[in-house]
Amino acid sequence: MPDIGNSNRISRGYIDSLYIETRYMDSTNPDTAFTLYGETFASPIMTAALSHLDHFMFPGAGLALAEGAKAANAVLWYGMADDAEIEALAATGARMIEIIKPYTDRDKILAKIRHAEGLGLLAVGIDIDHPFSEDGGPDIVDGEAMTAMTTAELAGICAATKLPVIAKGVLSRHDAGRCLAAGVRGLVLSHHNNRIEYAIPPLAVLPEIAAIAGDVPLFVDCEIKTGMDAFKALALGAKGVCIGRPLMTAIKQGGADAVRDYLNREKATLGKAMAYTGCTDLGKMDPAVIRRV
């Protein structure tokens, strides 16, 4: 399969095309503490909504992600999983956001939300970018069919729970506007690990979505690897970032401890970027420190 139009490569290139202006005068030590949905964490660098790790990697890999996130006091996002796996992940004590698939069986979405409520998860979400398969037909994942969400259905889901509902997989003002109209309390700008070639890089579309999102937090994933990448996203209007495949590499290398160390190291790098740019308050980031030349 040729690598033509690979969205991960394109997103990486875009992130690397962004430069950081320094502002040392009158700068101070930064505060990376991050508050989301009323709870405070060490930094806005979180895990991405990975899934099937025990299958793709080894038994216990999913738990290692959760334990590492807990040890770093970072938010744990997780993707498609049965109730028992979600319970085991939540039992690590990590504060968790569960991203639920756009199951054709909408009752299953609601049942999973009720389950998340019962476990006291931090939030739930739907990866709205997973309804179609590679030929444009309905996606089938683990034998379960998917269907694109309508704005009305998403609004019904948001109204059906007190948990914040997040839409993951937004890359346009079109989708952002509809999800916001439906009442979501967060958007993840993402192409979901190259689900479509030539996807606009999340950071390229971030400013125009930030302009219409108001107080609704925006999150970014896809090729976010370091605290420098995180800083660029945060300066451009994201509230937080999610790291996926690099944490899978960390799990392979050293399990939960390596996940913790990765998140802590990149939190420190984020702090460096904040101090060196005078953007020491996550609530008052200045997009003008990011330059494209």
Ligand X SMILES: Cc1cc2nc3c(=O)[nH]c(=O)nc-3n(C[C@H](O)[C@H](O)[C@H](O)COP(=O)(O)O)c2cc1C
Residues that bind ligand X (CB under 6 A): 48-52, 56, 79-80, 99, 127, 168, 190, 192-193, 221-224, 243-245
What is the closest distance, in whole angstroms, from the C-beta atom of residue 194 to ligand X in the complex? 8
Judged by beta carbon, residue 23 or residue 245, the one nearer ligand X is 245
Report helix, strand or coil for 159: helix
Can you point out the beta strands (E) in the chain?
A: 19-20, 34-36, 39-41, 45-47, 76-78, 96-100, 123-127, 140-141, 144-145, 165-170, 186-189, 218-220, 240-243, 290-291
What is the closest distance, in whole angstroms, from the C-beta atom of residue 77 to ligand X in the complex? 7
Q: Do the Cβ atoms of 254 and 234 come closer than 8 Å?
A: no
What is the closest distance, in whole angstroms, from the C-beta atom of residue 125 to ligand X in the complex? 8
What is the closest distance, in whole angstroms, from the C-beta atom of residue 6 to ligand X in the complex? 12
- Residue 39: Cβ-neighbour burial (10 angstroms; 0-12, 13-18, 19+): exposed
| Cα–Cα dist 93/175, whole Å | 33
Q: Do the Cβ atoms of 8 and 194 come closer than 8 Å?
A: yes
Q: Which residue is nearest to ligand X (CB)?
A: 79
What is the closest distance, in whole angstroms, from the C-beta atom of residue 267 to ligand X in the complex? 16
Contact residues for 168 (Cβ-Cβ < 8 A; gap 6+): 49, 99, 125, 126, 127, 128, 129, 187, 188, 190, 192
| Cα–Cα dist 245/50, whole Å | 8
Judged by beta carbon, residue 99 or residue 279, the one nearer ligand X is 99
Judged by beta carbon, residue 97 or residue 180, the one nearer ligand X is 97
Judged by beta carbon, residue 158 or residue 222, the one nearer ligand X is 222
- Residue 104: Cβ-neighbour burial (10 angstroms; 0-12, 13-18, 19+): middle
What is the closest distance, in whole angstroms, from the C-beta atom of residue 195 to ligand X in the complex? 8
Maximum separation of any 2 CA atoms in the chain, in Å: 58
Judged by beta carbon, residue 190 or residue 277, the one nearer ligand X is 190
Judged by beta carbon, residue 67 or residue 223, the one nearer ligand X is 223
Alpha helices for 106-244 (secondary structure H): 106-119, 151-159, 173-182, 202-213, 227-235
What is the closest distance, in whole angstroms, from the C-beta atom of residue 98 to ligand X in the complex? 9
Judged by beta carbon, residue 132 or residue 275, the one nearer ligand X is 132
